[in-house]
Structure 1
Amino acid sequence: MPDLRGPDRQPAFLGIPTYIHSPLALSQEELAEMQADVAVIGAPVDMGVVNRPGARFGPRAIRQAGYAGSPNDTFYHMEYELYPTQEIRVVDFGDAVCPPSSLELSHEAVRLKTMQALQTGAIPLVLGGDHSITLPAATAVAQHHGYGRVGMIHFDAHADTGESGYGGVLIAHGSPMRRLLESGAIPGPNFIQIGLRGYWPDRPLFDWMREQGMRWHLMAEIVERGFEAVLRGCHRRGARRPRGHISVSGHRCS
């Protein structure tokens, strides 16, 4: 049983606020030396939003919200009855350098940082940021493993398959899945979307998604069948894909 009262332990409010007090890698070389299983990457980007900005502060807020002490080897998961950081090596790889004046340069910084993590053999865990960061992060995964060989499980209220945003903008928070499909990074049949609800997308866009071979589960189905039943079905259908990308989007209420 791990010692919870060791003299070298620090409470969560001390030290650098890395993700669950994980060790920090300042370079790709350090990340490789640490033999990380998971590399946590901040993507402080919110220039892809239509309404309220502020999501660029998300990675910092997530790190500061963690209550695990340091070292974090006693961070316990009650449901699985194990210590996750004793099973996998989690390393905080810092933030992608995202200039607040350019969405394109910010996306390239996220793509590059994600690719660096993949090249060390780690699984990138990207903290956003607005929904548009899925485009560079998933593109890096597809570039690493091969276009067309990656599947996407997308948890969101919206499909994010818009043809363009306001004013004809092609890269925004409502269109990353469409851009991934159009680029060939992730083909339509490799998409599974879970939790769609609300007023958008509308019928024409659902028709387009169906033509591309995309699949989705509405929130009403989850309420009726249960989340675990829906997720098990998605797992069975996605088992033929050798690699996967999971995108989870959060929404604020107006």
Structure 2
Amino acid sequence: MRDIMNRKKIRIISVPIDLGASLQGASGGPSALRIANLTESLQRIGYSVSAEVIVNVPIRKKYYDHLSTKMNYRREILSVCQRLALLTKKSLEDDEIPLIVGGDHSIAMGSVSGVSEYYRNSNIGLVWFDAHGDMNTPSTSPSGNVHGMPLSHLLGQGDREFCSIFSERQKVQAENVAIVGVRDMDCKEKILVRDSGVSVFTMSDIDRMGMEEVSNEVIRIVTKNTIGFHVSFDVDGCDPVAMPGTGTKVPGGVTYRESHHLLEKLARTQKITSMDMVEINPFLDEGNVTAERAVSLIQSAFGLTLL
């Protein structure tokens, strides 16, 4: 197992899925990032990028045929996450850093499961950057949209098949999870979050503490007794003024500069194992600005600095 900081090759895994969301369009996220020159941007900062892998995703069929009262498109999303988990693990086995681009946030159940399985003899940390808690379960979700449920399943709560990708083992420990940028949660979800033991940094916390102090706390949490940490970055964590191309906008989010600051700090630890970039919806964007800014943020996560 090669040391994390010595990996200089990235494998982009594209997952064009929007079945986890109510709005269509996030499936276009990987294409938008491609147009924004993601591969070339990573090469410019010293990485080699292997051929992009694209996960096949079932076509969204008639809504009434595929709705469950608990998990919409459950079977299709589970299949995608299982395949993604295998690809993510294989990337690490090949000494490549997996960069997973979505697609809606349901894919994190696949990516994080793959990372967790690769490092199965150690704990991994998880930075969850999001406007939402994403900790509903099928029994608490008011919508049945799976992109609001991934974190609960990674913590072992919810649908058993999603919790058991690769194995029954819990994918991450609550004490090593930090949610950043939260400002919108469902009523029952709040109880789950409070009871889970994860650390939450709301926008109020960021206002009060500043992103420098929040970043330091996040790093402490996700590196304590872990081999490294995965970054799952939902663009709706940013303020929609900076990132308009997403389907779940919540005003009053993390600024573009604060987002860079967090990712730059995380990069300096040299312990990022892998990353998701999700919920870019080019059909709601303005001139592909969200994808272009997402590429810049990815560069920060992979070590780009001014000097």
> What's the TM-score once normalised by structure 1's chain length?
0.72
8 Å CA contact 1:162–1:178 kept in 2: the answer is yes
Q: Which structure: larger Rg?
A: 1
* CA apart distance, 1:61: 1.0
Classify the secondary structure of the residue corresponding to 2:147.
coil
Q: How does 1:82-161 map to 2 (within 5 A)?
A: 84-85=45-46, 88-100=47-59, 102-146=76-120, 149-161=123-135
In 2 relative to 1, CA 229–92 (structure 1 residues): closer, same or farther, beyond 3 Å? farther
* CA apart distance, 1:187: 2.0
What is the distance in 2 between the residues matched to 1:92 and 1:223?
41
What is the distance in 2 between the residues matched to 1:225 and 1:167?
32
- Superposition RMSD on alpha carbons, in Å? 2.6
Number of the residue aligned with 2:200? 216
* CA apart distance, 1:57: 1.2
What is the distance in 2 between the residues matched to 1:113 and 1:68?
18
* CA apart distance, 1:166: 5.5
What is the distance in 1 between the residues matched to 2:104 and 2:125?
21
What is the distance in 1 between the residues matched to 2:93 and 2:39?
28
What is the distance in 2 between the residues matched to 1:99 and 1:116?
22
1:234 maps onto 2:218 in alignment: yes
1:7-38 deviation per Cα after TM superposition (whole angstroms, max 9, x unaligned): xxxxxxxxxxxxxxxxxxxxxxxxxxxx8622
Relative contact order, higher structure (CA 8 A, sep 6+): 2
What is the distance in 2 between the residues matched to 1:36 and 1:96?
23
Classify the secondary structure of the residue corresponding to 2:90.
helix
8 Å CA contact 1:42–1:128 kept in 2: the answer is yes
- Paired AA for residue 224 in structure 1: R
Classify the secondary structure of the residue corresponding to 2:115.
helix
8 Å CA contact 1:98–1:110 kept in 2: the answer is no
Number of the residue aligned with 1:192? 178
Classify the secondary structure of the residue corresponding to 1:109.
helix
Number of the residue aligned with 1:247? 232
Relative to total residues, which structure has the larger helix share, 1 or 2? 2
Aligned length: 204
In 2 relative to 1, CA 43–69 (structure 1 residues): closer, same or farther, beyond 3 Å? closer
- Paired AA for residue 229 in structure 2: G
> What's the TM-score once normalised by structure 2's chain length?
0.60
- Paired AA for residue 197 in structure 1: R
Deviates further, 154-163 or 219-228? 219-228
What is the distance in 1 between the residues matched to 2:234 and 2:38?
22
In 2 relative to 1, CA 55–162 (structure 1 residues): closer, same or farther, beyond 3 Å? same
